[in-house]
Chains A and B, each alone.
Chain A
Amino acid sequence: MKPAGGFGASLKNDYRRFYGTMAGFGCHGASTAKEDNYCEIDPTVVDKYGIPVLRFRYKWGTDDVNQAKHMQETVKNILHTMGGIPLMQPAGPENNYGLDKPGKGIHEVGTVRMGDDPKKAPLNKWGQAHDCKNLFVTDGSVFTQQSEKNPTWTILALSMRTAEYLIDQRKKQNV
């Protein structure tokens, strides 16, 4: 095998020979929602418009870490079965199997979640505020759990559901 590095015709040829021969895997997972992962208004920091920013408290749970471990093992198997040569060592338990910092790959959902218990959730299961019957929320903030997928279709589906409920309630003169 050639030593790493080099220059000249040989290096140029290697660039072309190995172009397109590398593959990378990126895995997405759903982080299990937990009550002690939350955001709140930061009392000390504002953005460039002078509006206070959000600050987050977020820690990975065991399920999240195990998911990443499973991903590493799956990717390793795929690579092996394809006859690939690993160019990197897989991440191990010392850095949560390569899990990014929370917030590195996100969709902004949640915070005004749905739930039966008014003490724990501002909205009921229809996206209607528990304490204000004429207030409905129809965007990503009603989520109770984010999946590993993009949220748009779920937002649309929930909005449609809320709209139908709203029409029904209107007909019954409840709102």
Chain B
Amino acid sequence: MNRRESLKALGIGTLSATALLAGCKPDTESKSADTDVPVPTMGRQDNEIARDKALLGEKPFFDAREMATITILADLIIPKDAHSGSASDAKVPDFIEFIVKDEPQHQLPMKGGLRWLDVQCLNRYNNDFKDCTQQQQIELLNEIAYPFKAKPEMQSGVTFFNKIRDLTAIGFFTSKMGIEYLGYKGNTPGKWEGVPADVLKQYGLEGV
């Protein structure tokens, strides 16, 4: 996914929460996706716009338990700190829900990886990942978060964690919050506030 696409996806990702909530009410789901959800249209082909709308109209890919797990993982990867909010504050879980529909090659590795994580936790701690203590969660992540140090039997976990770490970072750093955290200014438009006060004073025009 290139930068332009990820920016586009995030713009939609943050909106998809609305579409998903609306989806709870049976009749409004497809309607809201087709008509109410704004999608970027500038410089885009009709078939691209139609595709974005169709993706947003689809049923959620992840169930509630998976979304809860994704949210916990995303916040463990990018937590809140003194400079910015966490991944979930930047709506990264919504971005991940969108991107697996936009790029379906993530679907199987994500579903399977989440299940792998839960099976590991059930065997070790007798709980799903999301219901483990944070200490237990971190203990497990320590075994899959360092590709060059991980044991061979943890490779499936490493593959999954590499993916969710990448998706979390893409989601976070293409959000407004993430961009501000980096200090990226880009082509920030100037703000015209009229003739400067000292110049007005010089010509005695303060009151005009």
Q: State the A residues within 8 Å of B (CB).
A: 3-9, 11-13, 15-16, 19-20
Q: Mark B124-144, 1 if CB is under 8 A from A, else 0.
A: 000000000000001001000
B144-169 toward A: CB 8 Å interface, digit per residue (1/0)?
01111100000000000110010001
A15-B169, A15-B173, A16-B181 given as contacts; is B79 within 8 A of A8 (CB)? yes
B195 contact set on A, CB distance < 8 A = none
Output the least CB separation between A16 and chain B (Å).
6
B199 within 8 A of A: no
Minimal Cβ-Cβ distance residue in B for A16 = B182
| Contact of A7 with B76 at beta-carbon distance under 8 Å, contacts A12-B81, A15-B173, A16-B182 already known | yes
B165: chain A residues within 8 A (beta carbon): 5, 7, 11
Partner of B77, one of A7, A13, A20: A7
Q: A3–B147 Cα gap in the complex (Å)?
A: 9
| CB proximity of A22 to chain B, nearest CB, Å | 13
Complex formed: what's the CA distance from A16 to B172 in Å? Answer: 12
Determine whether the beta carbon of A19 is less than 8 Å from that of B147: no
B contact residues around A3 at 8 Å (CB): 146, 148-149
Nearest Cβ on chain B to A20's Cβ, whole angstroms: 8
CB distance from B154 to the nearest CB of A (A): 12
Number of interface residues of B (CB under 8 A): 22
B78 at the interface (CB under 8 A from A): yes
With both chains docked as a complex, state the minimum distance between the C-beta of B142 and any C-beta of chain A, in angstroms: 9
- Asked if A11 and B77 make an inter-chain contact with CB atoms under 8 angstroms apart, the answer reads yes
Listed A/B pairs (26) with beta-carbon separation below 8 Å: A3-B148, A3-B149, A4-B146, A4-B147, A4-B148, A5-B145, A5-B147, A5-B148, A5-B165, A7-B76, A7-B145, A7-B165, A8-B79, A9-B79, A9-B81, A11-B165, A12-B77, A12-B78, A12-B81, A13-B81, A15-B78, A16-B83, A16-B181, A16-B182, A19-B183, A19-B184
Cβ A7 vs Cβ B81 within 8 A: no
Nearest neighbor of A6 in chain B, beta-carbon distance: B145
CA distance A6 to B147 in the complex (A): 9
CA distance A116 to B184 in the complex (A): 56
Closest to B81 in A: A9
- Chain B residues lying within 8 Å of A7, measured Cβ to Cβ, are 76-77, 141, 145, 161, 165
Given A5-B165, A7-B165; 7 other pairs, CB 8 A cutoff: A4-B146, A5-B145, A6-B145, A7-B76, A7-B141, A16-B183, A19-B183
Determine the distance from Cα of A12 to Cα of B168 in the docked complex, in whole angstroms: 11
Complex-state Cα separation, A15 to B77, whole angstroms: 11
- Choose from A4, A5, A8, A20 the contact partner of B76 (Cβ within 8 Å): A8
Residues of chain A lying within 8 A (CB to CB) of residue B162: 5
* Residues on the B chain within 8 Å of A15, using CB: 78, 169, 173, 182
Known: A15-B173, A16-B181, A19-B182. Is A5-B78 also a contact (CB below 8 A)? no
Q: How far is the CB of B152 from chain A (nearest CB, A)?
A: 16
Q: Which residues of A contact B76 (CB under 8 A)?
A: 7-8
Complex Cα distance A8/B169, Å?
A: 11
**Within the complex, what minimum Cβ distance (angstroms) separates A116 from chain B?**
45
Q: Which residues of B contact A6 (CB under 8 A)?
A: 145-146
Please name all residues of chain B whose beta carbon is closer than 8 Å to the beta carbon of A20 when the two chains form the complex: 182
CB distance from B11 to the nearest CB of A (A): 21
Kindly supply a per-residue 1/0 record for chain B positions 110-129, scoring 1 wherever the CB is within 8 Å of any chain A CB and 0 otherwise.
Answer: 00000000000000000000
B77/A5 in contact, CB under 8 A: no
Residue of B nearest to A5 (CB): B146
Residue numbers in A under 8 Å from B169 (CB-CB): 15
Cβ-closest 7 pairs across A and B: A5-B146, A7-B77, A3-B146, A19-B182, A5-B145, A7-B145, A12-B78
